[in-house]
Structures are given as structure tokens and as C-alpha cells.
Amino acid sequence: MSRTLLIVIGILIALIVGMAFYITTMFQEDQDTLYQVSTIQNLSAGGYDGYLTIGEIKKQGDFGIGTFNRLDGEMIVLNGTFYQVKSNGTIYNPPDNEQIPFIMLTYFEADNTTPVKQLNGSDLENSLNNTFPQPNIFYAIKIVGNFTYIKARSVPEQSSPYQNITEVIKNQTIFEFNDINGTIVGFWCPDTVGGLNNPGFHFHFISQNKTDGGHVLEFNVGNATMQLDYTPKFYMDIPT
């Protein structure tokens, strides 16, 4: 084998290894990206028509919250499975062709794990606000275990012309759960993203047996484990 051929083969091997490393690095970096469809400002103003499907967006993450076409219920994405909490309290697994007007989605990989016992939601949020290591990034938050109390809601499917979200939630359905096992799925957004999303906490809940859930209004932790995923990157699909 000639020396020239050996050099060419060596260069090709180096290029292949480099490309593999680059692709792997890109994939790892994507794990730390919050993917969002639309803005919270658009949704709150009545932007309830979906324009991307679950099938189109599910490759963007395995953990998230959002809503469905025409604001038809609350969304929880846990371990890659999508759940739809309707206003009557029933929970469905929506099909891939279901359209989405708003979602926050990421690949969850815990950077921090903490036991939580006998703590109400407000005190937990205050504690987190004082301990987040970086104030200008997103945090995905998963709390798994027993909750002594959860107050949640869902909203009914809307019809055009749409009212804004303030009017819609006047007709929300309230659910109250006591001594229930399940998972809180949510995010904390920094002040710098106001308009794109609401700064602060946004939580949804689904029970362990997948029969109860909704958008969390209040909660008290009995005995649970909380995990944080530091998420410094952000990508948005905007309605066209």
C-alpha cells in the first residue's frame, strides 16, 4: 500500500471520528435545550389554534407541559408519553396528529436531586428561588412522590372567536386531591423571558395511576424526591 494512500485513509478516518464527535456533542447539548412552541403572550391573548402536531414535536423532548388545539385541556409529557387532562377530569393519550398551540419541552436529565418532606408549595418555591445556582437560565423541575394535597385545574375546549385566557379560566374546572401519589412536572423561567413565557414557576401534575391531574394551583408535599435539570438553551417555533 502506497504512502499516499495511507495518508488519505488516515485523513478520512480523522474526518469520520471528528464528525462523530461533533454529532455526539450536538446531541448532548440539545439535552440542555428548552423547546417551546409559540409565546405565552400569544396564547394568553387567544392564540389557541394548534399548528404543529405531537408527531412533529415529540422528538424535541421527553418532559414537558402545554395545552392542546383550541385550549382543550392541560398537557403533561412524562418519560416521553403525552397526557391530556380534559376539563371533566378524564385523561387521554392524544394521537400524533393532535395539533399543539403551546408547549414547553425538554429532555430531562437530573443535575440535582433532593428529598422533600412536609413542605407546602409556596415554601418550596421560595426555597428554590433562593438557591438556584444561575438566575438567568431555565430549570426543569420534577417532583415525584406523595402529596398530602393538590389543587389543580383544567379548562374546556374553546370555540372561535376566542376569549383571552383571563376570561377562559373563569369557567375552569377545579380538582382537589388528598394523599395522592404522582409527579409534578414543571419549569422555572427567568425574568429575562417575560413576554415569551411567564417568569417564575409553572407546574402540572399527573397521578401515579394516570387517572388524575391538571394545571397545579396549590400543593403540599408529603414525602417526595425533587430533581432539577439546568437548561441554559432555548429554541422556539413561532406561529406563521
What's 211's domain CATH number?
A: 3.30.1330.80
In a domain, 1, yes or no: no
In a domain, 10, yes or no: no
Residue 153 belongs to domain spanning? 33-237
Mean pLDDT over 120-140 rounds to: 96
Which is more confidently placed, 43 or 27? 43
pLDDT of residue 1: 54
pLDDT of residue 228: 98
Distance between CA atoms of 186 and 120, rounded to whole angstroms? Answer: 16
* Three-state secondary structure readout of 183-215: EEEEEEECHHHECCECCEEEEEEEECCCCCEEE
All three cell numbers of 164, joined, read: 383571552
pLDDT at residue 230 tops 60: yes
Mean pLDDT over 94-106 rounds to: 98
pLDDT of residue 240: 79
- The total domain count for the chain is 1
pLDDT at residue 52 tops 90: yes
pLDDT of residue 6: 43
pLDDT at residue 141 tops 90: yes
E-strand ranges in the chain read 33-37, 52-53, 63-67, 74-78, 81-85, 91-92, 99-100, 102-106, 112-120, 138-154, 173-189, 200-207, 213-231, 233-237
pLDDT at residue 79 tops 50: yes
pLDDT, tens digit (0-9, with 9 covering 90-100), for 2-19: 555 444 444 444 444 444
